[in-house]
Each structure stands twice: as C-alpha cells, then as structure tokens.
Amino acid sequence: MSKACATETAVLHVLDEVVASARRQKVAEFDAYAICTRTRRVTIERELVSSADSIMATGLHVRVCVDGKVGGASCNEFDRRATSECIDHAVRIANLMESDKNWSGFPSSSKKYPSVSGLYDTSVASLDVPVMSMMAEEMIDGARSVSKDVSAPYGAVESTGRTVGVTNSSGMRSVMSETELQALICCVAGSGESISPDCEESGQSRSCDLRIDKIGERAGWIAEKSTHILDAKTEECDVVFSPMSLGAGNDGLLNVVLSEAFSGQNTHQGISFLAGRLGEPIWSEHVTINDNPLLSGRCGSRPFDDEGIAAQKTRLVNKGTLVGYVWDSYHGSISGEGSTGNAIRDLSSGTVGAAPLCLQVMPDRGSMKSLIESVDHGYLVWGCQGSHTSNTETGGFSFVASPGLLIKNGEVVGGVRGSMVSGNVTDLMKNVERVGADVVDFGSALMPSILFRNVKITTG
C-alpha cells in the first residue's frame, strides 16, 4: 500500500490529536486505541439483492493513569473537541478511582513487530456495490444449482477496509490497515414437516479469492440433504463436526468455549476449566492448538494486539498436553507470565482483557468427506443451535445439531431433527479420533473438521 487510505489518514490524525491533547492537558500517562472502518454491504432477502449499505464508523478509547489510578473513556468522533473531552473524562474518572497497586504502566514498544503479509488488498477496499451485487447473485445461483427446491431467505456480501492504531505515553505508536471480504448465505429447502433448518454457510478472506458460488453450493447441499428426515436415537456414537460448527465466531462450539478458556485473565481468576492444569495431558494426542496471528493473509492475522504489543505465535496445546495461555500486559504482569500480545479491547465496556487472536487447531489429514467415510454409524453436525449458551467457565455444553445429518456406512443419508449433543469440552477433546486438513478461516479461528468418538446424542 503506497498511499495512505482514508481510514488510515483518519486514525493517524486522531492519534496525533490524542498526543497533543494529553500534552495540553498535562496528562503524563495515557494510551489510546483508535479504529476507523469503511464498510460496504449488499443484503440478500428472499433470493434477491434487496439493499445496499455504506457505513463509516470510528471509535476512540483512551485510558489515562493518574498516580496509579486508571480511568477510561471513549467516543466516536475524531475531532479535536471530542478527543479533548474524551481525555478529560478519562482523567476525571481516574481521579475518582483508588490507586491500583498492581498497575505497572502502559507497555512500551520494546519488541519489533513481526512481518505479517497479505492483510490489505486494494481490490477488496475498492469493491463497489455493482460488483458486490453480482457476487451476491453468484452465491444465490450456487445455492440454486443444487436443487430448485432450495431457497435463500437471507444473506449478505460485505467488504470492509479498516485501520487500527495504538499510541501511548511509553512511546508506542502503531498503525495497521486491513481488508476483509465476507459472504454469508442461509438456505432452506422443503416445506411443512420436511422443511430444513436454517442452513448457513459463510466465507471470509483478506482478498477477493473467495469462491462465492461454492459458498452457495455448500449451503444448498446441506439444506437439500436435511429435507430427507430420518430417525435418530439416544446413544453415544461417532460424530463428525464441520469446521463451521466448531469455528464460527458466534456459535462455533470450540471457538466460543476455548477463546474464554485459554484467556490468562480467566485462568488467573479461576473461571476457566483450564486453570491450574499447565503441563497436564488433558486431551487426545491428536490435538495441537496454537494462537497464531502471524500467518500470511489470514483474517485473524495482525502484527500487534490492542495495546500495541507485538503479536506472536503461542503454543497452547501440544499433542494433547496443555502448555500455554494467552495474556494481555496487565494480567500477564500480575501473574508473572508477561504479555503474549493478546490484549483485546472492548470499546463499550472499556475493558482490556486477554483472548486468542487466531485460534488455530492444527490440521492433520483428509477432508471432511474422508472423515465421514470412516464412520459406519454416526452423525454430521453442521451447525450448533444454542452453542452460545455453553458454559465457558466449566466447558459444559448442550446444543441441538442443526443442521444435523445421519451417517450410515460412510455416507450422509439424510437429516435428523431435534437431536441434542451434550457433554463437556474436556471430555469431547479427549475423544478426538481424527482431525481433518480442510481448514476454514473464521477470522478468530482456523478450524478443520474433526471426528469425535463417544459423543452423547439425545432425541425425543
């Protein structure tokens, strides 16, 4: 990127404003995080492109420390008045707080940032509505190509250009720009008693290399398969989980549960089932997990975290043995572990905590199809209805496989209704039989399909 994009110009400007305002307001210790996002989106409704959105959004979060007392404020305007008021309010809140004996200052930029390539693609940043409309139609056509019985009630194609910047009084000043192209489609098929559940499929990429038609095809395939309803029974058996059912940001079982469980902050506070188990063989030896934000062109990749600390690859589970957690600077300092470059900042609540940036379940071999072929009797879980209600502290889960499909003699033979899958993530991960090689990028996770043994299935 030879020329600064509009979002980068805006972020650089507001970071300068923060530094100047802090100087004017005689604030010696501060940090600021700024984000500017430009999003274009076309929406699908009832199989047609129905609307186009253009969204410019900015956010600034400022923390100040006054005599060991930390306060924060945020705003969404980048002008001098708003920046100055934001610092002023952070100072006022800091002055009202008690001194934090654990406070060790805002981090300095002591470590050189890793080189992470493929984060910004001008072809994504410059995507316009006509092209995105065509992409949406291509996705719908992909779904319809499976069967005329398949319809697409909703979906969207979205391109985002974003710049994130961090500065602080310890000399930190870091800016990165990134792009992301996302596509989502929901398909249903059948009617009445045989109507399929919502069959969502999505894809995301830093560049324009998404096979949009294939996303539609996959959603259409699973919807069509789900209309042939077969009886399931209450049992313990082999279950293949699709990458989406494990890795999707909102309801992928492992992403939802493990993002919280690997947080050093949560383990330190005793609210993670992984607390105090470092060095123990906790899961199947087929399981190796990294937090890896350094891979080229991946949607969760980035050179630094939300405090400006260099991102790094951290091994979390090595062949089933728990070997690490992820830390932000504050909780890493309290625990004595130090930061692993995993600070995540919530602009609304003002909290800065630790979470994996890109949870990478290491792939092994074979496609999801080959995993299915190795199952004589079992199920394929494509989506986890209600997995967001999993207990991230205990690892307990109980969700409906939706879509859920029956596997017989190595083939998907039809859909099942209302089959519940329950257990605990620790037990589930002990029963990993095979890990596929079909990794899907969900931004916050890189997830392959996985075959588990002895999974509890309950039906009515």
Q: Which residues, at least 6 apart from 16, have a Cβ–Cβ distance to it below 8 Å?
A: none
Total residues interacting with other proteins, rule: CB under 8 A:
88
User: Token pair for residue 296?
Assistant: 């080229």
Among 25, 50, 170, 321, binds other proteins (CB under 8 A): 50
* C-alpha neighbours within 13 Å on the C-beta side of residue 111: 17
Among 128, 209, 231, 280, binds other proteins (CB under 8 A): 128
| Residue 46 touching other proteins (CB under 8 A) | yes
For residues 197 to 236, the per-residue mask of contacts with other proteins, x marking binding by CB under 8 A and - elsewhere, is xx-----------------------------------x--
Interface with other proteins (CB under 8 A), residue from 400, 407, 432, 435: 400
Residues in region 130-159 near other proteins by CB under 8 A: 130, 133-134, 137, 151, 153-154
**Exactly one of 78, 262, 382, 442 binds other proteins (CB under 8 A); which one?**
78
β-pairing, 377-381 vs 235-241, is: parallel
Nearest residue (CB) to other proteins, 279 versus 460: 460
Of 41-49, 170-178, 238-246, 360-368, the segment contacting other proteins by CB under 8 A is 41-49
Report in angstroms how near the CB of residue 114 gets to other proteins at its nearest. 29
Residue span binding other proteins (CB under 8 A) among the ranges 118-126, 129-137, 312-320, 428-436: 129-137
Q: C-beta of 314: minimal distance to other proteins in Å?
A: 24
Residue closer to other proteins by CB (options 272, 292) is: 272
In whole angstroms, the minimum distance from the beta carbon of 191 to other proteins comes to 7
Residue from the set 4, 19, 175, 195 that interacts with other proteins by CB under 8 A = 195
Coil, strand or helix at 380? strand
Query: What three-state secondary structure class fits 251?
Result: coil
Q: Is 10 helix (H, G, I), strand (E, B) or coil?
A: helix
Distance (Å, whole) CA 328 – CA 346 = 13
Per CB under 8 A, 68 contacts other proteins: no
CB closer to other proteins, 213 vs 393: 393
Q: How many angstroms from the chain centroid is the CA of residue 161?
A: 17
Question: Under the criterion CB under 8 A, does residue 315 sit at the interface with other proteins?
Answer: no
Residue of 294, 341, 360, 301 lying closest to 120 (CA atoms): 301
| Listed residue (125, 124, 240, 248) closest to 186, CA to CA | 248
- Answer for which of 208, 271, 282, 437 binds other proteins (CB under 8 A) is 271
Using CB under 8 A as the binding rule, the residues of this chain from 406 to 425 that contact other proteins are 417-418, 420-424
Segments in 97-227 forming alpha helices (H):
122-125, 129-144, 212-226
Where b means 16+ CB within 10 Å and e means fewer, 252-283 reads: bbbbbbbbbbbbbbbbbeeebbbbeeeeeebb
Contacts of other proteins in 425-454 (CB under 8 A)? none
CB of 410 to other proteins, least distance (A): 27
Return the beta strands (E) in 48-149 as ranges.
48-66, 69-75
Nearer to other proteins, 68 or 410 (CB): 68
As a residue count, the chain comes to 460
Residue 387 and residue 251 in contact, taking contact as beta carbons nearer than 8 Å: yes
> Which range, of 160-168, 212-220, 297-305, 344-352, touches other proteins by CB under 8 A?
344-352
Q: Which tokens in the block code for residue 403? A: 């879509």
334 touches other proteins (CB under 8 A)? no
Tell me if residue 138 falls in helix, strand or coil.
helix
Residue 196 binding other proteins, by CB under 8 A: yes
- Which pair of structure tokens corresponds to residue 359? 């949870």
Residues numbered 96 to 125 that lie near other proteins (CB under 8 A) are 96-98
Please report whether residue 93 would count as binding other proteins according to CB under 8 A: yes
Q: Which of 20, 55, 230, 413 binds other proteins (CB under 8 A)?
A: 55
Name the residue nearer to other proteins (CB basis): 1 or 48.
48
Q: Which of 304, 327, 379, 399 binds other proteins (CB under 8 A)?
A: 399
Residues 251-270 that bind other proteins (CB under 8 A): 251, 269-270
**172 in contact with other proteins (CB under 8 A):** no
Burial 225-250 (b: 16+ CB within 10 A, else e): bbbbbeebeeeebbbbbbbbbbbbee
To other proteins, the closest distance from the beta carbon of 7 in angstroms equals 13
Q: Is the peptide bond before 107 cis (omega within 30 degrees of 0)?
A: no
In the bound state with other proteins, the residue whose beta carbon lies nearer, of 211 and 456, is 456
Q: From residue 188, give the alpha-carbon distance in Å to each of 150, 152, 200, 232.
A: 6, 6, 9, 21
| Category of 33 on φ-ψ map: left (φ > 0), alpha (ψ -120 to 50) or beta | beta
Binding track, positions 357-396, relative to other proteins; x by CB under 8 A: ----------------------------xx-xxxx-xxxx
Out of 19, 175, 208, 347, the residue judged to bind other proteins by CB under 8 A? 347
Q: How do beta strands 440-441 and 411-416 pair?
A: unpaired
